[in-house]
Structure 1
Amino acid sequence: MNLKARNDATPTLRIIPREQHNISRKNISKAALRVLYRLNEAGFDAYLVGGAVRDLLLGGHPKDFDVATNATPDEVKKLFRNCRLIGRRFRLAHVVYGPEIIEVATFRGTGEEDSEGDRHIVDGRIVRDNVWGTIEEDAIRRDFRVNALYYDISDFSVRDYVGGIQDVEDRVLHLIGDPATRYREDPVRMLRAVRLAAKLNFRIDERASAPFEELGPLLLDASPARLFDESLKMFLAGHGLKSFRMLEQTGLLKFMFPATARALKRGDKALRILIEQGLSNTDARVVEGKSVTPAFLFAVLLWGEVRDLAHAWMVKGVDANDAWGRATANVIAEQCQRVAIPRRFTLTMEEIWSLQPRFEQVQRKKVFRLMAHPRFRAAFDFLALRAAESPAIRELGEWWAHAQQLPHETLAAALAGVTSPPESGGKSEAVSAAPKKRRRRRKPSGGKSGAA
């Protein structure tokens, strides 16, 4: 079937001249400009395209710059010695300038008769697509109108074939063509809609969001590795809290993080506070230019199910350590079937979770052993997020926060039962003994740290 007919989109060119838009070459990377100029000088059409144009129009500072051209990948490679061709599903040229990679894509066509390329569609999904076409065809092949804007290096105008400029002004996301057809071609477009709306503070057009409930299950067939990449884009780019809320509102959360959706459905207010505060903290760190790790974020998202499973097994008489181990293994195994979290991250998640019960063990040797653990800081930050679970957990977090401020000798003396005022501020008995709440626990080994 011809894609042009399926997309139900008729391109109508609108040219916005240089004096009528705010894109300046000083905000475009030098590497991207070199690629654009080189292609143009060689007689090819060359355009900056997609998210970079959209973000520049919105006054942003994009990090990635993509180029669209009528030159084929082989022709691009002949022009640039620093070029490599990649991809089987979508053949692309990567032009490399030091750490920066400029992705160059040939205009995609809508017909299937082009002898220069090939397209393969299975159950409505495009599994291979290397049919070249015109810029008009390329425009209607893109996902959202705001991503189908072209900055022309030859005269510095912006070309709009599908109404993207109006959507930028209206701050709305319209899908190009029939939404159900486009989502069946690539179900991950539903997640991209959520991510872009959160990132740009746009709303999703009602027609574009209507198929989510019916077609959301198609995400179960998407590549778990690709969904991991999409998760990082949603949660580790400074707009994670908005992305999470939109995932939940649109009903897509259960297809990405089923354990999280189940735990929240049980009405656990403390868990919601933990997740939203964790995401908010991550967003703040991104804005401040601080490092963030997927391991901590995934540990936050999956904590509710891990905790509840562990406690359910302990109620049945399973040893605390075994119960936590089983819960951790089960939740991670299920999650990795949806989102392929690499082992280096799941190991850290397991450590963060396994250290939570150990915070209740405030005997001298155990305290110092825990403080020396390489994951102590991450585990403590996690404990601090759990403050809403109960007054006991909040008290425990405060105890450990103060303990970390004390000199080694002062803390050691306090844990030995000797009152020794901390240098940091006069809490003379703050760490002289374990928090009273802990002594009433049946399992001092720590199996019920998250029971509240």
Structure 2
Amino acid sequence: TDLDLFKILFPVAVEHLRDHSWHSLLMHAFSNTDERLKNGLSVTPVFLTACVLWPPCIDLYEKFRAQGKPPHDALHHAAGQVLSQQQKHLMIPRVIQNGVRQMWILQLRFKKMFGKGVFATLHHPRFRAGYDFLLLRSEVDHHLKQQADFWTQAQNMPPEAIKSLIYGKRKKSPINYQLSVHEQ
């Protein structure tokens, strides 16, 4: 029998499974997790929770952005609502909720690829999880390739090289804070 366990545990995310991009993102996340387990590597519920709940968070984020909220405020507010709704169905410890929020906020920080904020992002405690999530997102959204490539390159460079990279490419154009799969 089909117990629809996903529907029971994550009802706020179920409707998004019909979207091919989000379904693909989740399948990549589950596949990568399976591979890590097979290889004896650690896995964290923070990463999978962030992946599963990302689609409803983005829906709310876009709604709040359309209402005029600044990007970080919109994402904080959306994250809070999604996690609160999810708590009604599956208890998520606060430490996991905080990790999920940090991973999601890093997705905005990854958009800024110049200035001294790059160093702060590289040294963020959740950088690796957020970066892995960005890579996962870039597998289903080719618009994220430039960001993923930048952060892949930046984390493997000495500080002096990073300085020339980030200060040499300062942009005058505004940052596009759209986070949906179909970024522009």
TM-score by length of 1: 0.38
Distance 1:315 1:389 in 2: 24
Deviations 1:204-260 (A, max 9, x none): xxxxx1xx5xxxxxxxxxxxxxxxxxxxxxxxxxxxxxxxxxxxxx54422211122
Q: Equivalences for 1:121-136 in 2 at 5 Å?
A: none
1:449 maps onto 2:179 in alignment: yes
1:263 to 16, 19, 37: 16
Distance 2:7 2:136 in 1: 23
Which structure features the higher share of helix residues?
2
1:284 maps onto 2:14 in alignment: no
Distance 2:101 2:60 in 1: 14
Partner SS state of residue 291, structure 1: coil
1:263 Cα deviation from its structure 2 partner:
1.6
What are structure 1's unaligned runs of at least 5 residues?
A: 1-208, 213-249, 418-432
- Name which one, 1 or 2, has greater alpha-carbon Rg: 1
Distance 2:138 2:164 in 1: 27
Checking the alignment, whether the CA contact within 8 Å between 2:37 and 2:43 is kept in structure 1 is yes
What percent of counterpart residues are identical? Answer: 32
1:381 to 132, 135, 140: 132
1:293 maps onto 2:44 in alignment: yes
Indicate the residue corresponding to 1:355 in structure 2: 106
1:298 Cα deviation from its structure 2 partner:
0.6
Checking the alignment, whether the CA contact within 8 Å between 1:387 and 1:393 is kept in structure 2 is yes
2:162 to 406, 411, 421: 411
Distance 1:373 1:388 in 2: 23
Checking the alignment, whether the CA contact within 8 Å between 2:24 and 2:140 is kept in structure 1 is no
Deviations 1:82-118 (A, max 9, x none): xxxxxxxxxxxxxxxxxxxxxxxxxxxxxxxxxxxxx
Alignment RMSD (CA, Å):
2.0
Deviations 1:56-93 (A, max 9, x none): xxxxxxxxxxxxxxxxxxxxxxxxxxxxxxxxxxxxxx
Indicate the residue corresponding to 2:64 in structure 1: 313
Partner SS state of residue 91, structure 2: coil
Distance 1:451 1:357 in 2: 14
Distance 2:89 2:113 in 1: 38
Paired residues in the alignment total 182
Which structure features the higher share of strand residues?
1
Partner SS state of residue 110, structure 2: helix
Distance 1:336 1:365 in 2: 37
Runs of 4+ deviating beyond 3 Å: none
Distance 1:334 1:309 in 2: 12
Partner SS state of residue 27, structure 2: helix
Q: Equivalences for 1:391-410 in 2 at 5 Å?
A: 391-410=142-161
Distance 2:69 2:16 in 1: 22
Partner SS state of residue 364, structure 1: coil
Checking the alignment, whether the CA contact within 8 Å between 2:57 and 2:82 is kept in structure 1 is yes
What are structure 2's unaligned runs of at least 5 residues?
A: none
- Greater RCO (CA < 8 Å, at least 6 residues apart): 2
1:305 Cα deviation from its structure 2 partner:
0.8
1:392 Cα deviation from its structure 2 partner:
2.1
